[in-house]
Amino acid sequence: MIRSQIVGCGAYLPKRIITNDEMTRIVDTTDEWIVARTGIRQRHIAADGEFTSDLAIEAAERTLASAGVEANEIDLIVLATATPDNTFPATAVKVQARLGITRGAAFDVQAVCSGFVYALAVADNFIRCGQVGTALVIGAETFSRILDWKDRSTCVLFGDGAGAVLLRAVETDVPNGARCVLSTHLHSDGRQHDLLFVDGGPSSTQTVGQLRMSGRDVFRHAVGLLSGAVDEALAANGLSADDIDWLVPHQANKRIIDAMARKLKVSTDKMICTIDRHANTSAASIPLALAEAAGDGRIRPGQLVVIEGMGGGFTWASAAIRW
């Protein structure tokens, strides 16, 4: 059997940090409100002229360095983003070019905050069916560019960043025992598309548009969908919540993360939480958290890591990984 092993990960955050106190000079808000309602204390914001592809390439290079793999060994790049540099070409091909790769394939996946799990699932399936041997999976966003900086209910929530993992094909007879991506589960339900969306686009308004969210409604759906996706990942592998070493959730709101931990009966000690420093970086939030926790030695080889995300669409997804 062919499975995908995570052989490297890396991340990049733009240098500029905007604290909650600085946000109070932009909109009518307070540090107390933002921390109490979301857990966010600061966010990183891309510099003028710094694009999603720039963040992605930094994360990609760090990922390749962590794996000790040369760029020319990559067969496939799947990049998750809702904030591409341009409508087309895909941001993934800009990354491919800057890595100096002229073979294989590169394309973007758009599932907003679930995007990284979707991209991982796509790459994992390419590897499982034997079509590629080495795949780079990136989540990269510059959400600061699609925020309405006059809308306090959304602009305080998001940040910019990028993270990536490198997958390599491994042969195994016992996939559940091997260090590999054990399973991925993807879902969408377009009926709620107007609870979290961007009010522009090339076909509709010929403008980029800005993010609009009915936060309370999204919150109401989030905990059930996310804990359901984690249960699904565990059941598919004959595992229980007690088997989880690390739960790495999409970082949208600390209250969502804590509510999910309670529902799943997973200790918050087993959750990787970066929302206080990164805010919500959409498709980048999970690989940013993975890179941080693998980099500082919390996530160790052989441990069971479950990732999950939920976002506009709605889309929601989970993956179980033996690290």
Select the residue interacting with ligand UT7 from 98, 219, 239, 276 (CB under 6 A).
219
3-class secondary structure for 138-152?
EEEEEHHHHCCCCCH
Omega cis (within 30) before 314: yes
In the annotation, is 86 catalytic? no
| Per-residue tokens: 48 | 């003028």
Single out the segment in contact with ligand UT7 by CB under 6 A; choices: 30-38, 70-78, 204-212, 223-231. 30-38
| Per-residue tokens: 209 | 């548009």
Residue 91 interacts with ligand UT7 (CB under 6 A): yes or no: no
User: What strands lie across the sheet with 246-249, from one edge to the other?
Assistant: 181-188, 315-322, 304-311, 246-249
Residue 166 interacts with ligand UT7 (CB under 6 A): yes or no: no
DSSP 137-189: EEEEEEGGGG--TT-HHHHTTB-EEEEEEEEEEEE-S-TTTSSSEEEEEEEE-
Give phi and psi for 64, each to the nearest 5.
-65, -40
Residue 29 interacts with ligand UT7 (CB under 6 A): yes or no: yes
Q: How far is it, in rounded angstroms, from Cα 21 to Cα 317? A: 34
How big is the chain by its Cα radius of gyration, in Å? 18
**Beta strand pairing call for 211-213 and 315-322:** unpaired
Nearest to 65 by CA among 9, 138, 6: 9
Q: Which helix (H) or strand (E) holds 259?
A: helix 254-264
In the annotation, is 250 catalytic? yes
Select the residue interacting with ligand UT7 from 12, 311, 321, 322 (CB under 6 A).
311
Residue 227 interacts with ligand UT7 (CB under 6 A): yes or no: no
Catalytic residue (one of 9, 20, 44, 113): 113
CA distances from 239 to 179, 304, 316, 318 (A): 15, 10, 20, 14
Nearest to 94 by CA among 58, 64, 69, 119: 58
CB closer to ligand UT7, 27 vs 178: 27
Select the residue interacting with ligand UT7 from 156, 181, 234, 275 (CB under 6 A).
156
Minimum Å distance from CB 210 to ligand UT7?
A: 15
Single out the segment in contact with ligand UT7 by CB under 6 A; choices: 73-81, 230-238, 252-260, 267-275. 252-260
Residue 216 interacts with ligand UT7 (CB under 6 A): yes or no: yes
x-marked contacts with ligand UT7 along 114-153 as a string, rule CB under 6 A: --------------------------------------xx
Residue 263 interacts with ligand UT7 (CB under 6 A): yes or no: no
Q: How far is it, in rounded angstroms, from Cα 298 to Cα 290? A: 10
In the annotation, is 155 catalytic? no
CB closer to ligand UT7, 55 vs 275: 275
Minimum Å distance from CB 29 to ligand UT7?
A: 3
CA 96 to mean position of chain CA atoms = 19
Report the residue number whose CB is nearest to ligand UT7. 215
Catalytic residue (one of 9, 250, 253, 273): 250
Nearest to 67 by CA among 166, 178, 204, 194: 166
Select the residue interacting with ligand UT7 from 93, 252, 279, 288 (CB under 6 A).
252
Residue 82 interacts with ligand UT7 (CB under 6 A): yes or no: no
Minimum Å distance from CB 34 to ligand UT7?
A: 6
Select the residue interacting with ligand UT7 from 52, 274, 280, 318 (CB under 6 A).
280
- Positions marked catalytic: 113, 250, 280
List residues binding ligand UT7 (CB under 6 A).
29, 33-34, 37-38, 113, 152-153, 156, 215-216, 218-219, 222, 252-253, 256, 280, 310-311
